[in-house]
Chain A
């Protein structure tokens, strides 16, 4: 296959505006462009959608309200009323990941959620934030989290490290799940799209498959944004109500 047509070339970072600050490369890349576009897109979606704020909502207002109510209910169901102060953050995370995933579905677009750096940064922010909230709320009592109740003290030297590793693995599994899903889905799309041309007349079959796969990818875009958000909520719930 020709250079630049590999199924993985879509994930390549391209420096659009090279900027160098000292030893740091802070170039404005295609990834940064799509993040900025996502922020603009989310803001436009919510602000323009709610501009008319009619009593009987139109299509855009309805979608904006739906997404708001959806996340508000999610926070209420998983964290309870104590989670309300954190709603803006959780809503932002959800909309950012969702629009990032969806913008990645636009042809010639770039999916920044398919990069582990991006997802891991978000996961580590969630993880550190939640840990700090737990430490502020429960002080040193937080460390009983690593010692399940009813366990004999002799088991502690073995169990506590296991629990700590299990706790530390949260940001890894949180970020890998989102990144792996987006990476695998987009690679699969490109691989099958490559078959369409290669097979000539029989390319209709992979073409049909690619159409179906595109629909599935859009479902996954929603699902993974939801999973990322619900996990954030559950971690927050653990931080607020230790057990």
Chain B
């Protein structure tokens, strides 16, 4: 039996690498949905909660500060609690509609660019 030379070894490795890369590329776009991971339901719930509460907290904070500045306690805070709640629901709505981590209203990713965050809600947490 002949020992394979170092050059031959590298060539074989190169061929294997090329095959593996091609396979990975083929399976990437229509790959298995990543949200099948166990525990993702809890992650989704946590994400929804965090999004809701953080927007509400920001609303309350803005209202509080504006009130202290303008001396209109408690009216602006009341208004901003409602706005903050609406912003929280907007965040959750965007998440649930499959915008993933992206913000805004653009649902279709621009051509040529895949956004991993767009594969549906609750893939990560």
Q: For chain B, which range describes its interface: under 10, 10 to 19, 20 to 34, or 35 or more residues?
A: 35 or more
The SS class assigned to the B binding surface is: helix
Nearest CB of chain A from residue B107's CB, rounded to whole Å: 11
**Which residues in window 141-173 of A have CB below 8 A to B?**
145, 148-149, 158, 161-163, 165-170, 172-173
Q: When the two chains form their complex, are residues B117 and A166 in contact, meaning their CB atoms are under 8 A apart?
A: no
Cα(A169)–Cα(B51), bound, Å:
8
Cα(A113)–Cα(B88), bound, Å:
25
Contacts of B58 in A (CB 8 A): 165, 168-169, 172
Q: Say yes or no for B84: interface residue by CB 8 A criterion.
A: yes
Cα(A176)–Cα(B62), bound, Å:
19
Q: Say yes or no for A80: interface residue by CB 8 A criterion.
A: yes
Nearest CB of chain B from residue A165's CB, rounded to whole Å: 4
Q: How many residues of A contact B (CB 8 A)?
A: 37
Q: When the two chains form their complex, are residues B101 and A234 in contact, meaning their CB atoms are under 8 A apart?
A: yes
Known: A56-B13, A230-B101. A169 touches B87 (CB 8 A): yes
Q: Say yes or no for B96: interface residue by CB 8 A criterion.
A: no
**Which residues in window 81-121 of B have CB below 8 A to A?**
83-84, 86-88, 90-91, 101-106, 110, 113-117
Q: Say yes or no for A29: interface residue by CB 8 A criterion.
A: no
Q: Say yes or no for A187: interface residue by CB 8 A criterion.
A: no
Q: When the two chains form their complex, are residues A231 and B104 in contact, meaning their CB atoms are under 8 A apart?
A: no
Cα(A21)–Cα(B19), bound, Å:
60
Nearest CB of chain B from residue A52's CB, rounded to whole Å: 17
